[in-house]
Amino acid sequence: MNEGCQGCGCGGGAGGGESRRSVMFKLGAGLMAVGGAVASVPIFGALVAPGFRRYGNTWLDIGAVGDYPAGETRLAKFAIPGASPNDGETATAAAWVRGMEGDKFQVFAVNCAHLGCPVKWFQQSRLFMCPCHGGVYYEDGSRASGPPPRGLFEYEWKVENGRLLIDAGLLPGLQETA
Amino acid sequence: MLRGLRAILGWTEDRSGAIGFVAPILTHRVPRNAKWWYVFGSATLMFFSIQLVSGVLLATLYAPSAADAYQSLVYIDTQVPMGWMLRAIHGWSSNAMVIMVVVHMLQVFLHGAFKFPRELTWMVGVLLLFCTLALAFTGQIMRWDQDAYWGLGIGASIVDRVPVIGNQLRNIMLGGPYIGGATLSRFFALHVFVLPGLTIALVGLHIALILKNGVSEMPKPGEVVDPATYRRDYESRTHRTGVPFWPDAAQRDMIFCGLALIMVVGLAAFYGPFGPNGNPDPTVIDANPRPDSAFLWIFAALALLPAQVETFLLLAAPPVIVLGLLAVPLISNRGERAPTRRPVSVLVMLVICTALAALTWLGVTSPWSPVMDAWTSVPTPVRLVERLTPLQMQGALVMQNQQCRNCHALDGTGGQRGPDLGDVGSRLSWDQLVRQVQQGGGNMPAYGKTLSAAETVAVVAFLQACRTDGQPPSSIPGALQRSASPDLPPVASPVAAPAAAP
Amino acid sequence: MKRLLATLATLFAAACDRVPLEQPMPSQAVVSWDGLYLTHCAGCHGADGSLGAARPMRDPAYLATLSRDELIRVIGRGQGRLMPAFDQSAGGPLTAEEIARLADGMRQAWGAGGVPVGMPWSGSAGAAEAGASVYAAHCQACHGAADGRAPGTHGSVTDANYLRLASDQALRSAVLFGRADLGAGCDGRPNGRRLQSQEVADVVAFLISRRPATGRSDR
């Protein structure tokens, strides 16, 4: 037994007539490979699972329509649906809501389209400015200046029973609109 | 007493062979001329050890859950005796480790020590560099404050740009579709288990390789590396003229490490720990995220990359940098080692260092970032206020009110993104000013739709008054000299000037 | 040796106590009134409360005349076109409590010993025709004739664009208090006496009457 292991381990050069050892070695290697593969599914499964799950936005209530008067852009804060209890403060998110005439809205993610920093709204100049690399957007979310490759990410919205709902929850990024 | 001790020692040595194993390592011969240049590697190792010890202690106090992490840091800082000092040492020593790794690497590169037979030592060293940087980055995340949160946001946005699978990769990195508890847990595991384990293993390999191939000699011009003969020559030289590492060479390492350590502890005691800088609350949009010093150059590069090639460079640069560094000894593993005989290599190194230093400096000042509260906090210079007419004064107020000051300085104060406008009145004529304000351009937003006609007139009148003393306003010879005339709209640009009711 | 140990022990004990000073938790930090002033007001009202582009706050007579409530209201709700609203309910950055702290701080530090001008800070405008003659008598020398013929020494206040931007209250405050920091005697004292209540109302009405009706572009 001991001998056999050594023989195989030292380079697998089992000569003629040693076929039994070679079979044993191959069997062992094969079993290890299968066992490893079976074991790694649960081990790494949890690690990479977030990459395979399909996450979706949900309709979230961000307040009464009257909270977002026409001509103003206000910050809406909301809880991320399905957050886990140890998310703490990070279980919340925010969006900029631009109220327009006739109960129309535009809802923007606070994340800059450049690299995700939080843009800040300036009521006076009607601009969003990003503190990181200086991206600037107009009040309708279109890019005004700076490095962002596009305008702000927009969330879908709808009004139900006088409440404003937005389709949100995921961290916005260039590959999804919001 | 002494005899008893010796007996125990002898017994242990007999059963374990520990001394027999360690002694040759300690006393391996190193070249006599291995002087102060060679201390940086040891210093890196020392700081890494400090990180291990202080890190384990911090792990006993830190709560690695997104809900509690921030508060546990506050608790360590304010309630745990010497807790703040522990955090401070861990933070400052991490910076010192990054610096030492880089200096060590520069020294090795400068002296061509990566050449035959030490190519693999260099490659492992490169991996150690990235382990160190990864430890620094994940360490910043352990702070779980605003900077950590938005730093992750930046990282996520970069990963998100990977074609096709970017979004999946990002979710794997974050442990879900948003930055939260799962994210902190992931990075905690990286920071305290995976990366330190990897680093320890690689350090072991690095040292084993050093022992196998010997410490390189100081390069001499003309003494070329030839793989066919190098090993033999090196061995005979060190055998003849070398000294044992312990204690001859080690004393310098000890002096340097001791001084470096005292300095780091001094800095830690004096300046205290880094952060935490404000709750990781994503709804607080007043954040001004900045990365730690080791990553400021990346932060700067991200601001300066042209938009068209940004994604490409973001994704292509990391592998190119890693592979490039790994490949250094493959590109040239023989020949001259002396820096004076390798002008191209030295030049490349200098250029890279200068670029990194310049980018880091830009990252510190970040002139491209609007100063978010400049409009309410940076006053109009008194020199100007004292000579303005009421209309121009309103213009100065428009300039504050419209957040122009977030990006524009007057006499050096204010944002740095756009040009300083303290003397713009002697550079641009009335018409040019109106056009710039209304249409923007040159990376400035257009204000045509935001400003009323009166505001445009007022602000342009103010800008025209922004001149160094005694300078006349700018004008185009022969052109109509326009200035703020009452009741006139600021017409100038061919593009829609808002019609004012006269 | 003993001495050394003792020194080390004291040092250690001292270090145990010491918590680095510059570690206020940002969320809990209470900003003093002057801190609030410096970040939120200094840009327009001047670094130390005067010599800014907007009216000085370091003006005892001004702060004595304006009531605390009025001050708080202006800060919270803003005024005219260019003074932003600072209350959070109006989209500003400050809480009601912070605004009160700021107002009280300003009144205590800059309003001490101020003598009220004897006229209310706000008031309705009077008669424009009467105001025209007050203007000619008291203001023309510095601000020029209203028809623009004789320019004054300190720039026009009858300019249409100026008037479009300054609110009625700003005009009234200018006439009531002038701008002491700029040596602007707009309150009549250069002519020997302070303007009477009626004169103030009239000249303000006159200035307002010179303001063109706002067009659509003048939001």
CATH number at residue B155: 1.20.810.10
Evaluate whether residue B489 is within a structural domain. Answer: no
pLDDT reading at A60 higher than 90: yes
Same domain, B157 and B30: yes
Q: How confident is the model at residue B473 (pLDDT cuts 50, 70, 90)?
A: confident
Give the per-residue pLDDT at C217. 40
- For residue A29, the distance in angstroms to the closest alpha carbon of chain C comes to 57
Hey, which residues 118-147 in chain B have their CB within 8 Å of chain C? none
Same structural domain, B231 and B209:
yes
Residue B373 CB-half CA count within 13 A: 15
For residue B201, is it within any domain?
A: yes
- pLDDT score for C193: 84
pLDDT at B456: 95
pLDDT digits (tens, 9 = 90+) for C124-169: 889 999 999 999 999 998 999 988 777 888 889 999 999 999 999 9
Instruction: Using a cut of 0.90, tell me whether the model's pTM lies above it.
Output: no
Confidence of residue B126 (pLDDT cuts 50, 70, 90): very high
The residue of chain B with its CA nearest to that of C184 is B386
**Cα(B327)–Cα(B235) distance, rounded to whole angstroms?**
26
- Residue B442's CATH number: 1.10.760.10
Q: What is the pLDDT of residue A12?
A: 45
- Give yes or no: residues C154 and C188 share one domain: yes
Q: Is B498–C217 a contact, with Cβ atoms under 8 angstroms apart?
A: yes
Q: How far is A11 from chain B (nearest CA, A)?
A: 23
pLDDT band at A175 (very low <50, low <70, confident <90, very high): low
Output the average pLDDT for chain C.
86
Residue C199 maps to a domain: yes
Q: Domain count for chain C, please give it.
A: 2
CA B290/CA C56 separation, integer angstroms: 36
Alpha helices in C32-148 (DSSP H): 33-40, 42-45, 60-65, 68-77, 96-110, 128-138, 140-143
Owning domain of residue B463? 374-484
User: Does C218 fall in a domain?
Assistant: no
| CATH number of C47's domain | 1.10.760.10
B362-380 confidence digits (pLDDT tens)? 999 999 999 999 999 999 9
Query: Is the pLDDT assigned to residue C29 strictly greater than 70?
Result: no
| Distances, alpha carbon B451 to alpha carbons A77, B346, B437, B439, in Å | 30, 55, 9, 11
A161-175, B98-112, C19-33, range with greatest mean pLDDT: B98-112
SS3 C199: helix
Q: Nearest-CA neighbor of B117 among B239, B29, B210? A: B210
pLDDT of A17 reads 61
Neighbours of chain A (3+ CB pairs under 8 A): B, C
Whether residue B29 is found in the same domain as residue B58: yes
Question: Do C138 and C201 have their domain in common?
Answer: yes
Please name the residue of chain A whose CA is at the shortest distance from the CA of residue C81: A124
C122 located within any domain: no
- From the number of C-beta atoms within 10 Å of its C-beta (0-12, 13-18, 19+), residue A173 rates as buried
Please answer whether residues B358 and C125 qualify as being in contact, where contact means their C-beta atoms are separated by less than 8 angstroms.
Answer: no
Contact assignment for A74 to C84 by CB distance below 8 Å:
no
Q: Give residue C7's pLDDT band: very low, low, confident or very high (50, 70, 90).
A: low
C65 and C95 in a common domain: yes
Q: Do C156 and B486 touch (CB under 8 A)?
A: yes
**SS3 labels along B13-78:** HHHHCHHHHHHHHHCCEECCCCCHHHHHHHHHHHHHHHHHHHHHHHHHHCCCCCCCHHHHHHHHHH
Distance from CA of A13 to the nearest CA of B (A): 28
Ranges of H-type helices in chain A: 2-9, 19-52
- Tell me what percent of the residues of chain B surpass a pLDDT of 70: 95
Mean per-residue pLDDT for A14-23? Answer: 73
Task: Output the CA–CA distances (angstroms, integers) from residue B49 to B192, B195, B203, B261, C16, in the order listed.
Answer: 13, 14, 11, 11, 23
CB contacts, 8 Å: C51 with chain B: 379, 382, 385-386
Q: What is the pLDDT of residues B415-469, one digit of tens each?
A: 999 999 999 999 999 999 999 999 998 889 999 999 999 999 999 999 999 998 8
Contact between B406 and B374 under an 8 Å Cβ cutoff? The reply is yes
What confidence tens digit (pLDDT) does each residue in B27-72 have?
888 888 877 889 999 999 999 999 999 999 999 999 999 999 999 9
Rounded CA-CA distance B68/B55 in Å is 18
Shared-domain flag, residues B351 and B387? no
Whether B145 and B174 share a structural domain: yes
Mean pLDDT of B211-227: 91
Could you tell me if C41 lies within 8 Å of chain B, comparing CB atoms? yes
Q: What is the pLDDT of residue C97?
A: 96
Q: Provide the domain limits for residue C97.
A: 11-15+21-110
B331 has a pLDDT exceeding 90: yes
* Co-location of B325 and B385 in the same domain: no
Q: Which tops the pLDDT comparison, A174 or A154?
A: A154
Tell whether C25 and C98 lie within a shared domain.
yes
Check residue C218 and give its pLDDT. 43
Whether residue C84 and residue A124 make contact (CB cut-off 8 A), yes or no, is yes
Interface of B with C in 431-470 (CB under 8 A): 452-455, 457-458
Residue B249: predicted pLDDT: 87
DSSP secondary structure letters along A99-137: EETTTEEEEEESB-TTT-PBPEEETTTTEEE-TTT--EE
pLDDT value, residue A160: 94
Interchain proximity B172–A119, CB inside 8 Å: no
CA distance A75 to chain C (A): 9
- Residues C113 and C86 sit within 8 Å (Cβ to Cβ): no
B484 touches C at CB < 8 Å: yes
Does residue C58 lie within any of the structural domains? Answer: yes
| Helix or strand run (H / E) with residue A158 | strand A157-160
Contact state of A86 with B179 under an 8 Å Cβ cutoff:
no
Both B327 and B387 in a single domain?
no
Same domain, B258 and B167: yes
In terms of domains, do B433 and B357 share one? no
pLDDT of B495 over the 80 cut: no
Q: Name the token pair of A34.
A: 């299968």
Choose the mutation target among B284, B455, B456, B463 for the interface with C, i.e. most C CBs under 10 Å.
Answer: B455
Choose the final residue of a domain: C82, C110, C138.
C110
Give the pLDDT of residue B502.
Answer: 32
C85 in reach of chain B (CB within 8 A): no
- Please name the residues between 85 and 114 in chain B that touch chain C, using a CB distance below 8 Å: 85, 88
Cβ pair C91:A124 closer than 8 A: no
Complex-level ipTM: 0.88
Domain A59-167 in CATH 3.40.50.9100? The answer is: no
Q: How many folded domains does chain B comprise?
A: 2
Instruction: Tell me: pLDDT of B320 over 60.
Output: yes
Structural contact between residues B115 and B206, judged by C-beta atoms closer than 8 angstroms = no
pLDDT of residue A21: 85
CB B452 to CB C218 under 8 A? yes
Q: Return the pLDDT at C10.
A: 61
Is the pLDDT score of B489 beyond 70?
A: no
- Positive or negative, the CA dihedral B287, B288, B294, B297 is positive
Closest by CA position to B145, among listed C48, A102, C23 = C23
User: Which residues of chain A are within 8 Å of residue B287 when distances are taken between CB atoms?
Assistant: 117-118, 131
Note whether C74 and C100 are same-domain residues.
Answer: yes
Residue of A nearest to C86 (CA): A123
Query: Residues B107-116: pLDDT tens digits?
Result: 999 999 999 9
Residues C137 and C202 in one domain: yes
Residues 70-129 of A with CB under 8 A from C: 72-74, 123-124
pLDDT over 60 at C219, yes or no = no
Given a cut of 90, whether residue A73 has pLDDT beyond it is yes
> Does residue B192 lie in a domain region?
yes
- Is residue C152 domain-resident? yes
Same domain, C86 and C165: no
pLDDT at C8: 63
B315 with B390, same domain: the answer is no
**Taking 80 as the threshold, does the pLDDT of residue A121 lie above it?**
yes
Radius of gyration of chain B from Cα atoms? 30
Taking each helix axis as running N to C, give the angle between helix B166-174 and helix A19-52, from 0 to 180 degrees, rounded to the nearest 10. 90
Residues C65-80 have pLDDT tens digits of 999 999 999 999 999 9
What type of residue sits at position B379?
A: P
Is there a contact between C161 and B376 if contact means CB atoms under 8 Å apart? Answer: no
> Does residue C57 fall inside a structural domain?
yes
B403 to A127: CB separation less than 8 angstroms, yes or no? yes
Residues B38 and B179 in one domain: yes
Interface of A with B in 110-149 (CB under 8 A): 110-111, 114-120, 122, 124-127, 129-134, 136, 138, 144-149
**Are residues B200 and B349 located together in one domain of the fold?**
yes
Which residue of chain A is at minimal alpha-carbon distance from C78? A124
Per-domain boundaries in chain A = 3-50, 59-167
Whether residue C219 is contained in a domain is answered as no
Q: How many residues does chain B have?
A: 502
Question: What average pLDDT does this structure show over B161-177?
Answer: 92
